[in-house]
Amino acid sequence: MLHLALDYQLIERVPRIRMEKAELPDPVFLEEEEIDRLVAAVPVEWRLFVLTAVRTGLRRGELMGLRWDDLRLEVERPSLRVQRSVRQEDGGKLGEKPPKGGKPRSVPLTRDLAAALHTARPTTVHRTSLVFPGPLQGYLDHQRIWKMLVQAGKDAGLDKHVHPHLLRHTFASLCYKRGIPPQVVQLWLGHAHITTTERYAHLAPNAGEDLIDLLVSPAGTTTPAAPCAIRGNTTGNTKGGQET
């Protein structure tokens, strides 16, 4: 519009307009007691899906594309590898794409989630089979996931709108509240920029304060520095009435 006004000589130049970035509201998330209520309210066949979402922070499409060979369960530190995301293509068909950001990432698994996944894994499952298959072993439907969570939230008596991304917010929020460093949370969530992860920083305003104690040896043997001798006039007077 401004360029058109310039063409008609209605203005002498197009002004440079600085766009102010609107602040995003603080993310809504579930408290631990609300997580327990939600997991108890979802249908049994959906509980592992919800638990995995809350314990890993995976996006909906990443959960839909998770395969058994992405899991490392028989190791000291269980983990999963996020390598793909299921998204809707032109024409409405679902297909696999690289995860958001284009880079795979690893996410460690809590002991309870690793045990639940190990129990749920069929003994004869093909390693490339989906962990959470839909009808006829295809992909889950986006709308089916959404409707299931909305209904489970109502059945659990939660006063929050429960949807797939809320579970991701919940994972990130609990990480911050437990003192996990932002850079680690960023890697787990697959955020390209730390500023995205820092949306949750208000949940742990004093995070990192205890780390200052690491500068002192555990045995307390660090020798304090000797006080510096003050040179100059011992009477306390300063040159020209000014401190030097």
Question: Catalytic residue positions?
Answer: 59, 100, 165, 168, 191, 200
Q: Are strands 71-72 and 79-82 parallel, antiparallel or unpaired?
A: antiparallel
- Provide φ and ψ at 108, rounded to 5°: -70, 155
Alpha helix locations (H) across the chain?
Answer: 2-7, 32-41, 47-56, 60-64, 111-120, 142-155, 164-177, 182-189, 194-197
* Cα 209 versus chain centre, distance: 22
The answer to whether the CB of 185 falls within 8 A of the CB of 198 is no
